[in-house]
Amino acid sequence: MIELNDVRKRFGANEVLRGITAEIGRGEVVCIIGPSGSGKSTVLRCINGLEEHDGGSIRVDGVHVDRHSPTIRQVRAELAMVFQRFNLFPHRTALENVIEGPIYVKNAKRDEATARGRELLARVGLAGKADAYPSELSGGQMQRVAIARALAMQPKAILFDEPTSALDPELVGEVLAVMRLLAEEGMTMLVVTHEIHFAREVADRVLFLDHGTIIEQGPAREVLSRPQHARTQEFLRRILKPI
Amino acid sequence: MARFLADSGEFLPILLQGLWLTILVTAGSLALSTLLGLIWALMRVSGVGPLQGLAKGIVNVIRGIPIIVQLFYIYFVMPELGVTLTALQAAIIGLGLAYSAYQAENFRAGIEAIDKGQIEASESLGMGWALMMRRVVLPQAVRIILPPYGNTMIMMLKDSSQASTITVAELALKGSLVAASTFKYTTVFTLVAALYLVMSIPLILLVGWLERRMQGGRR
C-alpha cells in the first residue's frame, strides 16, 4: 500500500531522514515512535507530499509521490491526514468541515455528502455537534471532527501526525478510542505517536526512529516489551517512567 | 444664517451633480482597484517565480508614481498612443490602478496571515491551489483584510477629488466652479465639506465596527 525506499530528506545542513525503507500493507496499523527531532513527522509529510523528499522513492498504491506532479492529488485523495493541531477550517461548522472534501474535491452531491457526514460525526461520537464551529469545541472534539473529515474522503489509508499531542491529558482517551475503532474495522493506519500503550495494544507493527533512521522495527508487543536496541530501550525507559 | 440657507438651496442641486460624479469615480475605481489588487496579491502568493516578480514590479512602479501623474498619463498620454478615454473613464482607471497597489499589499498580508496548517489541511484533502484559495484561504483572509479595506475606501472617496485635475467635474471641482462664479466661498465650501463628511462618516463608523468585530473571537 505504502512503500518507502531509501527516502532521504534534508533541511539545509540538517539531514532529517537518512534512508528510510519501509512498507505498510493494506489493513495494517503501524506506529512510528521515537524521540522528537527523529524525523517521524517528516516521514508522514513526505508520504502525502506536504514535504518533498530529496532522495529515494515513495509509492502509494503503486503511484509515485511527487509534490510537483499532477498525480499528487490522486495520492492525497487516497491518503487522508490527521494533524497534531487539528487544522480544522475555523470558518466552517463541524459538518461543513467534514463535507468540504467530498463536495469540492470529489464532486459528491451535497445531500449525499451531508447524510454521510452526519453518519461519520455520529460514528466519532459527535452527532450533536454538527452545527458547532471549531472554536466551540474542545480539543478532543476537534480532533474527532478531523478524523471524521479524513474518513469522509473514503481514504485507503490515514496518516496520523501525533494526533493526541496537543490535547489535555483527560481528552486523549476519547481520540484514541475512535482510532482503536478504526483499527478494528481494518483501516490502514500509519500513526506517529508518543502513546506507547496505544501502540502496544492497537498497532500491528512499530517502527522506532532515531536521527532519521529506523533503528528497530517489528511486531508492536515485541519491540515495545523487549526492545533489542540500546537506544530503543533508553527511549522507552524515559517515556514510560518520566523523571 | 437665512442667507446661508437660501444660497444652499440654490447651490445644492449643482453640487449634487458633482456628488454623483464623486460617487461614480469612487465606486468605479474601488471596484477596479479591488479586482486588480486581488490579481497582484494572488500572483505574489502563487509560488510561481516569474508571476511573483512581475506582480512585485507592477506594485512598485504604481506605488512610486504620484496619483496625479498617473491620471495625467492616462488622460493626456494615452490618446497619443491611440487610446482615447473620457475624463471619467480615465479617472476611474487611473485611481483604480493607483490604489490597486495598496489593495494588493493589504490582500497579500491577509492571505499570508492564514495559518500554514490550513494550507496543509487543504492540500491533504487533495485540493488544488485555486480551490484552496476560494474555499479556505480567502474566506478567512477577508476578516483580516476588511478593516484596512474600509480605510482604503475612505481614502479613495477623498482622493476621488484628484479627478478634478483631469476635468472631471466631481464635487470638489464643482464646488470651486460655483464659488468662483458667485464669490460665496464660505457657503459653497462648507457645503462641499459637509457633503464629503456625509459620505465618509458612515464609512468611518463601519471601519470602527469591523475592527471591533475583528478583535472578538474568530468565527
Residue range B15-38, pLDDT digits in tens? 999 999 999 999 999 999 999 999
How near does any CA of chain B get to the CA of A226, in Å?
36
The DSSP-derived string for B123-153 is: HHTT--HHHHIIIIIHHHHHHHHHHHHHHHH
Per-residue exposure over B53-74, b if at least 16 CB sit within 10 Å of its own CB, e if not? eebeebbeebeeeebeebbeeb
Ramachandran angles phi, psi of B44, nearest 5°: -65, -35
How near does any CA of chain A get to the CA of B121, in Å?
6
How near does any CA of chain B get to the CA of A42, in Å?
13
The DSSP-derived string for B162-175 is: GGGGGT---HHHHH
Q: How confident is the model at residue B219 (pLDDT cuts 50, 70, 90)?
A: very low
Q: How confident is the model at residue B217 (pLDDT cuts 50, 70, 90)?
A: very low
Q: What is the pLDDT of residue A242?
A: 60
Q: What is the pLDDT of residue A243?
A: 56
Nearest chain B residue to A73, by CA: B126
Residue range A106-135, pLDDT digits in tens? 999 999 999 999 999 999 999 999 999 999
Residue range B96-134, pLDDT digits in tens? 999 999 999 999 999 999 999 999 999 999 999 999 999
Cβ-defined contact of A104 to B127 (cutoff 8 Å):
yes
Yes or no: say if B128 and B101 are a contact pair by the CB < 8 Å rule: no
Q: Which residues, other chains included, contact B171 with Cβ-Cβ below 8 Å and sequence gap of 6+?
A: B15, B18, B19, B21, B22, B161, B192, B195, B196
Nearest chain B residue to A153, by CA: B125
Residues in chain B within 8 Å Cβ distance of A153: 125-126
Type and span of the H or E element at A81:
strand A79-82
Cβ-defined contact of A135 to B218 (cutoff 8 Å):
yes
Cβ-defined contact of B120 to A50 (cutoff 8 Å):
yes
Residue of B121, B126, B219 with shortest CB distance to A105: B126
Q: How confident is the model at residue B84 (pLDDT cuts 50, 70, 90)?
A: confident
Task: List residues of chain A with CB under 8 Å from any CB of chain B.
Answer: 48-50, 73-74, 76-77, 79-81, 83, 85-91, 100-101, 104-105, 133, 135, 149, 153
Task: List residues of chain B with CB under 8 Å from any CB of chain A.
Answer: 115, 117-118, 120-121, 123-128, 131, 135-136, 139-140, 217-219
Residue range B55-74, pLDDT digits in tens? 999 999 999 999 999 999 99
Cβ-defined contact of A76 to B125 (cutoff 8 Å):
yes
Average pLDDT, 10 consecutive residues per value, chain A (243 residues):
92 90 93 90 93 91 89 89 95 96 94 95 93 94 95 95 91 92 94 91 92 91 88 86 63
Nearest chain A residue to B138, by CA: A91
Yes or no: say if A204 and A220 are a contact pair by the CB < 8 Å rule: yes
How near does any CA of chain A get to the CA of B43, in Å?
18
Cβ-defined contact of B124 to A135 (cutoff 8 Å):
no
Q: What is the pLDDT of residue B3?
A: 81
> d(Cα A170, Cα A140) in Å, to the nearest integer?
9
Q: Which residues, other chains included, contact B194 with Cβ-Cβ below 8 Å and sequence gap of 6+?
A: none
Residue range B135-181, pLDDT digits in tens? 999 999 998 998 899 999 999 999 999 999 998 888 999 999 998 89
Residue range A176-195, pLDDT digits in tens? 999 999 999 999 999 999 98
Cβ-defined contact of A89 to B128 (cutoff 8 Å):
no
Residues in chain B within 8 Å Cβ distance of A155: none
Interface test with A, best of B48, B116, B119, B125 (most A CBs within 10 A): B125
Q: Tell me the whole-structure pTM to 2 decimals.
A: 0.85
Q: How confident is the model at residue B5 (pLDDT cuts 50, 70, 90)?
A: confident
Yes or no: say if A182 and A198 are a contact pair by the CB < 8 Å rule: no
Ramachandran angles phi, psi of A139, nearest 5°: -55, -45
Residue at grid coordinates 488622460? B75
Residues in chain B within 8 Å Cβ distance of A81: 120-121, 124
Residues in chain A within 8 Å Cβ distance of B219: 90-91, 133, 135
